[in-house]
């Protein structure tokens, strides 16, 4: 089968489930993975004959996409903040909004270093690290920083460990249930978290490829206590941040005001609520000064 004929089969199989732009992206990622194609090769090599072995892999991947398995889980990898990450069903697929969170952290750190250089290694803690995408991305940009990451799931921590090796960074990985934690291990300049924040009532808004495949424990919270993680982490942070320390959260877009008020009640005086690239309330930056 040629690339052109496979593309026809691929489009016809998936067109009822996905927009054509997304199908085109899926096709490119698969051809890049299995044939080392570039985007231009989809046109320039449309008559390229696919081997039986590769065709089997492509067909299998198409069938998985038809079952609404995310392409990142099919390929077992993704890119985040320009870096490669291993993925499986035990960790969330990193989102563009979380890349924005990393950018906000780096922007603040670099401004602090410019205005008032820190005469020691800056200490950073990521809570609920999953694949490790946040601390690893920060470590690549801040090689002198001492970075730790907490995660409750041993299977997720295993993925994070593989990603530290893949990206050749040293992160202190800690298996810990933050909701059962009374004290953190150190005092930090920055504490970051992208905790579970999607309410059960919002499941109807979630696409099947997410709802059926990504780990629910990392996504959902009970409707009657949706800010449980923010409450706990802010409580810990107020006693474990340095004097000028910063707390960063990725938040539920529908609960921006409520989250800001909760953090203010914890004693944080300066709170910034930032919108994401889609115009939704998504990131909070807070300090005690």
Tokens standing for 74? Answer: 């099919």
pLDDT along the chain (289 residues), means of 10: 96 96 96 94 91 97 97 97 97 96 93 60 96 98 96 98 98 98 95 97 93 95 97 97 96 98 96 95 95
In the chain the first and final C-alpha atoms are separated, in Å, by 65
What's the Cα-to-Cα distance from 107 to each of 83, 113, 125, 197, rounded to whole Å? 18, 10, 17, 24
| Nearest residue to 128 via CA among 176, 77, 68, 182 | 176
Instruction: Name the burial class of residue 114, with classes exposed (0-12), middle (13-18) and buried (19+) by CB atoms within 10 angstroms of its CB.
Output: exposed
Burial of residue 84, with CB atoms counted within 10 A of its CB: 0-12 exposed, 13-18 middle, 19 or more buried:
exposed
Q: Where are the alpha helices (DSSP H) in the chain?
A: 3-14, 20-35, 41-44, 52-66, 71-75, 96-115, 133-141, 154-166, 208-211, 228-240, 256-265
What's the DSSP call for residue 205?
G
Q: What is the pTM of this model?
A: 0.93
DSSP-derived letter for residue 289 is: -
Q: What is the pLDDT of residues 71-99, one digit of tens each?
A: 999 999 999 999 999 999 999 999 999 99
Please say whether the beta carbons of 106 and 91 come within 8 A. Answer: no
Residue 49 DSSP class: B
Give 141: exposed, middle or buried? Use CB within 10 Å, 0-12, 13-18, 19+: middle
Residue environment code for 238-274, b if the CB has 16+ CB neighbours within 10 A, otherwise e: bebbeeebbbbbbbbbbbbeebbebbeebebeeeebb
Q: How many CB atoms lie within 10 A of CB 142?
A: 19
273 - beta bridge partners? 284
Tens of pLDDT, residue by residue over 196-233, are 999 999 999 999 999 999 999 999 999 999 999 999 99
pLDDT in the model for residue 42: 85
């Amino acid at each position: 089968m040629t690339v052109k004929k496979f593309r026809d089969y691929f489009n016809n199989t998936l067109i009822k489930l996905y927009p054509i732009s997304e199908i085109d992206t899926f096709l490119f990622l698969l051809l890049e993975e299995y044939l080392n194609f570039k985007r231009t090769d989809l046109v320039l090599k449309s008559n390229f004959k696919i081997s039986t072995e590769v065709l089997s892999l492509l067909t299998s991947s198409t069938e998985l996409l038809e079952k609404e398995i995310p392409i990142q889980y099919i390929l077992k990898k993704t890119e985040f903040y320009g870096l490669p990450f291993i993925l499986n069903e035990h960790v969330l697929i990193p989102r563009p909004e979380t890349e924005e969170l990393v950018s906000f952290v780096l922007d603040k750190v670099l401004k602090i270093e410019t205005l008032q250089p820190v005469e020691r290694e800056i200490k950073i803690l990521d809570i609920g690290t999953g694949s490790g995408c946040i601390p690893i991305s920060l470590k690549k940009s801040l090689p002198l920083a001492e970075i730790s990451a907490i995660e409750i799931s041993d299977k997720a921590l295993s993925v994070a460990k593989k990603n530290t090796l893949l990206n050749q960074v040293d992160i202190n990985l800690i298996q810990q249930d933050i909701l059962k934690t009374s004290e953190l291990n150190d005092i930090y300049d920055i504490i970051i978290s992208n905790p579970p924040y999607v309410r059960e009532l919002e499941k109807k808004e979630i696409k099947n490829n997410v709802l059926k495949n990504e780990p629910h424990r990392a996504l959902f919270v009970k409707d009657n206590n949706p800010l449980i993680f923010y409450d706990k982490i802010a409580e810990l942070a107020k006693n474990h941040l340095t004097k000028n320390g910063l707390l960063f959260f990725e938040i539920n877009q529908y609960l921006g005001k409520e989250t800001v008020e909760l953090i203010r009640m914890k004693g944080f005086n300066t709170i910034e609520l930032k919108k994401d690239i889609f115009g939704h309330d998504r990131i909070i930056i807070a300090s005690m000064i």
